[in-house]
Amino acid sequence: MTPLLKYFRGYRAEAFSAPFFKILEAAFELMVPFVVAAIIDNGISTGDRGYILKMCGVMILLGAVGLVSTLAAQYFAAKGAVGFSCNLRQALYDHIHDLSFTEQDGIGSSSMITRLTSDINTVQSGLNMTLRLMMRSPIIVFGAMIMAFTIDFRSALVFAVTIPVLTVVVVGITLKCIPLYTRVQKKLEKVLLSTKENLSGARVIRAFCKEPQEIERFTERNDDLCREQKRVGRISAAMNPLTFVIINLAIIALIRQGAIQVDGGRLTQGLVIALYNYMSQILVELIKLANLIISIPKSLACAKRVADVLEIPSSMADGTATEGNNSAEYALEYNNVSLRYSGASADSLEDISLKLRPGETLGVIGPTGSGKTSLVMLAPRFYDATSGEVRVFGRDVREYSLEALRGMFGFVMQKNRLFRGSVRDNMRFGAENASDGEIEEALKLAQAWDFVSEKGGLDAEIEQGGANLSGGQAQRLCIARALVRRPKILVFDDSSSALDYATDARLRAAIGSLDYSPAVVTVSQRVSTVMHCDRIIVLEDGRCAGIGTHDELMERSEEYREIYQSQIKTGEGK
């Protein structure tokens, strides 16, 4: 929790005000038993109604001041806890965006979502309770014991024995629960992962009639979570009955000792009632403290999980260069580049070298799993090469700031990712200040303007993930989003797979007519998509199996000929 305290900046006043008002409330509450004792000994025993009414007024005043103090403490505690969690959530969100794909892959999306939501909410709740009760409960408990000693030393010895026993019980259960709550959160992540996969892949699950298997898998993980929660629940649930038993035994001992003292004339009946009230206050506070103690281990476990992510450094250091060498001969260079993903046993790419001039087109083709996407991911530094050098406009990509480097690229990913909002909002992901005219031009280049205009133009609404669009429509919008920023390097990662051949051909012709002549990298499994490129690189198991024009590869590369002939025979290459 300590590394996270810096996110409490701006809420230090609340951090002090909430406990202060709780201490004030506790002080007034500790006075009440003495007022009750005075009413019994000086009012009821003598029949003095005026005195009784006066002391009742004092009790009402103490209650009113205590209520105001409570409300103030609740306000400051809530403001501080919510402000802290807001700062922490923002910091975690920003940090996740700063991490490279390597770290994000290692953490996992379900784990990041759990930390951003459930874990931080638990930390917020625990902090709120801590600010309200951490000071109040000990002050009431030890204050009641001190007040008891001012009344009668012998009777107060019951308090002196009871409080250490209760402390042992509370601390022991707390230490037992902390690791168990960590395990509960990990099992919660597995349930969240199953939920995320089932919701995002609902159509695939139904298409293969896998509902029973997925329900069984979810049930197994959910039951596992339930068992772990019950286990920690049984341990934490033991706290209340144990404290009740100990306190009630203490009350029995206190009443017995008090009766002996009253019988001997050393105590009044009112003071015995005061001692009983102090013991009752301890009981109530220990129940509150027990709830706090149950909450604290869970909050600490969640805080540690959040801190663990915040402590993960990005493996991708940001450079300082903001622009490339405009007179550089090549827009993109790979010099003996290899890539091995974290935790992998073999390289995904091995000793790749190629060069691409501004305005040229490069096709990347190869069988599934040959490393095509891995190759293009290196240029905008989504991953860093394990060895070798990737250069963009004459500079090593590591020299650029990530914002400047990625600002040179227009990237169309393998999977279509659209966001809920209008067409205009989605297009402005590519260029924040793009005018409607520029957006319309990009849509026309991407062969998307016809269906966009039919749906209502730039104000047409897109559902989350593009659910109200066909695969081809979503792909064309993603292409338009890349084109609207007028990038120096365009990368199409198998982004025409959902397009028919005629649309694909028109798209390639439109890109070829761009006046700013970007370098274009096209990843595809279709020969027809890459065969017109200035150069084509053929990948086989992460290695270069050939590079050249279509005609050159037909002569020199057996792998390319096999792909071409297999698609021509099936009609895919036409």
- Radius of gyration in angstroms for the set of CA atoms belonging to the chain, rounded to a whole number: 35
Residue 413 lies in a domain: no
User: In this predicted structure, what is the pLDDT of residue 1?
Assistant: 59
3-state secondary structure of 247: helix
482-491 in b/e form (b: 16+ CB < 10 A) is bbbbbbbbbb
At residue 574, does pLDDT exceed 60? no
Lowest mean pLDDT, pick from 160-169, 204-213, 454-463: 160-169
Domain carrying residue 258: 2-310
* pLDDT at site 6: 84
Half-sphere exposure of 295 (CA within 13 A, CB side): 20
Higher pLDDT, residue 196 or 112? 112
Residues 430 and 295 in one domain: no
Say if residue 525 is in the same domain as residue 550.
yes
- Give yes or no: residues 264 and 389 share one domain: no
pLDDT, position 494: 81
Separation between Cα atoms, residue 470 and residue 114, nearest integer Å: 31
Q: What percent of the chain has pLDDT over 70?
A: 97
Residue 509 CA to residue 412 CA, distance in Å, equals 17
Strands 489-493, 409-412: parallel, antiparallel or unpaired by DSSP?
Answer: parallel
The pLDDT tens digits for 231-247 are 888 887 777 788 778 87
pLDDT of 10 > 70? The answer is: yes
Block residue for tokens 């002939």: 565
- Confidence grade of residue 432 (pLDDT, cut at 50, 70, 90): confident
For residue 240, being part of any structural domain is answered with: yes
Task: Kindly write down the DSSP assignment for every residue of 338-364, as one continuous string.
Answer: EE--TT-SS-SEEEEEEEE-TT-EEEE
Examine the domain organization and report whether 506 and 481 are in the same domain: no
**pLDDT tens column, 131-183:** 887 778 788 878 888 887 877 777 778 878 887 887 788 778 777 777 787 78
CA-to-CA distance for 484 and 423, rounded, in angstroms? 12
Asked whether residue 298 falls in the same domain as residue 447, the answer is no
Say if 414 falls within a structural domain. no
| C-alpha to C-alpha distances, 356 to 218, 331, 534, nearest whole angstrom | 49, 6, 9
Residue range 287-296: mean pLDDT, rounded: 72
- What is the C-alpha to C-alpha distance for residues 571 and 565, in angstroms, rounded to an integer? 10
| pLDDT, mean of residues 43-59 | 82
Alpha helices in 39-119 (DSSP H): 49-98, 101-107, 109-114
**46 within some domain:** yes
Burial class (CB in 10 A: 0-12, 13-18, 19+), 240: middle
Structure tokens at 156: 């107060």
Express each pLDDT in 471-522 by its tens digit.
888 888 888 998 998 889 999 888 777 677 788 888 888 888 888 889 999 9
Question: Sign of torsion, CA 399 404 406 410?
Answer: negative
Give the domain CATH number at 340.
Answer: 3.40.50.300
Residues 209 and 89 in one domain: yes
Mean pLDDT value of segment 369-395: 89
Main-chain dihedrals φ then ψ at residue 205, nearest 5 degrees: -60, -45
Q: Per the domain annotation, does 116 fall within a domain?
A: yes
What are the tens digits of pLDDT across the range 255-286? Answer: 887 787 777 777 778 888 888 787 777 777 77
**Are 115 and 35 contained in the same domain?**
yes
What's the pLDDT at 537?
A: 92
DSSP summary character for residue 332: E
421: which strand partners?
Answer: 462
For residues 391 and 333, what is the distance between their CA atoms, to the nearest angstrom? 5
Average pLDDT score over the chain: 84
Same domain, 290 and 162: yes
For 486, the 3-state DSSP assignment is: coil
Answer yes or no: is 260 within a domain.
Answer: yes
- How many domains are there within the chain? 3
Of the three residues 449, 468, 486, the one that is the final residue of a domain is 486
- Containing H/E element for 413? none
Q: Are 166 and 145 in contact (CB under 8 A)?
A: no
Domain boundary residue, one of 451, 486, 521 = 486
Residues 226 and 357 occupy one common structural domain: no
Q: Among 250, 279, 310, identify where a domain stops.
A: 310
Does some domain include residue 536?
yes
Whether residue 457 is found in the same domain as residue 507? no
CB atoms within 10 A of CB 131: 27
Domain with 22 in it: what CATH number?
1.20.1560.10
The residues, ordered by sequence, that sit 6+ positions from 491 with a Cβ below 8 Å of its Cβ are 376, 379, 380, 409, 410, 411, 412, 482, 520, 521, 523
Instruction: Report the distance separating Cα 553 and Cα 573, nearest Å.
Output: 15
CA distance 137 to 550: 80
Distance CA 15, CA 22 (A): 12
The answer on 492 and 478 residing in a single domain is no
Same domain, yes or no, for 255 and 167? yes
Look-up: residue for tokens 């014991």?
145
